[in-house]
Amino acid sequence: MTDIQQRGYAHPDVLVSTEWVAQHLKDPNVRIIESNEDPLLYPSGHIPGAVEVDWTTDLNDQVVRDYLGREGFEALASRIGITRDTTVVFYGDKSNWWATYAFWVFQLFGHTNAKILDGGRKKWVDEGRELVREVPYYPATHYQAPERDDHTLRAFRDEVLEHIKRDGQLVDVRSPMEYTGEKLHMEGYPQEGALRGGHIPGAQSIPWSRAVKEDGTFKTADELRAIYLQEKGLDPQQETIAYCRIGERSSHTWFVLTYLLGFAKVRNYDGSWTEWGNSVGVPIVKGDKPK
């Protein structure tokens, strides 16, 4: 039994180790995908054979604030040379923020044969494993995707409004100072993007980073249950909506709750605070310290 399998996750097969990736670098049925916040990381060195999927240019529509549509996803998947049978393994910086974001977008188009490299880019580098600058070439495929599923895994503003009217479970995964409204972004980032600071009424403050250890790997299922269930009182059987500022940190928590803890239904509100904090006619709470 591997270390990942010993941690008690609901779906341990969705995580792979650095050793697993090293053993599958030349596997034609596996495609390694790097997704980062920092666009300079991939060209400076990446896992051999890994392709880059950029969250801004590859996953998002360039005109409408939305994700790429079916045709755009088909073009992306075809360009990186995958089929619907290809196992895609995501990794990246920030303890896999953007890797889980890309993973989530791929789920919107039904590519469920997907995994996350536990520990992400940091663990690979910390172990002294090989990085290369060569951009790999894969023959283009003819990928066919279903229409984007905007109902199962994604929440929209009006749905969040209805959710809070029902006292539904809502998780704010931002930093404590963003939750209180003292800041509009994390420390070290420009304080911009929303007219108002605070949080959505009824939201629990559970910063995304509490789910990972210093080396970027995920905490065990028992450690995660101690946070989300015992400390914060979340019910795995109730519908849960997670949000942050633009949807990337909340995709990380969505991944944790869905795959590692086996919550029944979790949706990511990707509009998050840049939408909610700028919207007319929606309620906020300001100054309420996280409990």
Contact (CB, 8 A) for 100 and 91: no
Which residue numbers are catalytic? 244
Adjacent-strand bridge partners of 240: 169, 266
How many CB atoms sit inside 10 A of residue 173's CB? 29
Chain position carrying tokens 């990511």: 268
Contact (CB, 8 A) for 73 and 145: yes
Q: What does residue 149 show for φ and ψ, rounded to 5 degrees?
A: -90, 100
Would you list the DSSP string of 149-203? --SSSB--HHHHHHHHHTT-EEEE-S-HHHHHTS-SS-TTS-S-S-SS-SB-TT-
Q: What does residue 116 show for φ and ψ, rounded to 5 degrees?
A: -120, 135
Question: How many angstroms separate the CA atoms of 168 and 31, rounded?
Answer: 38
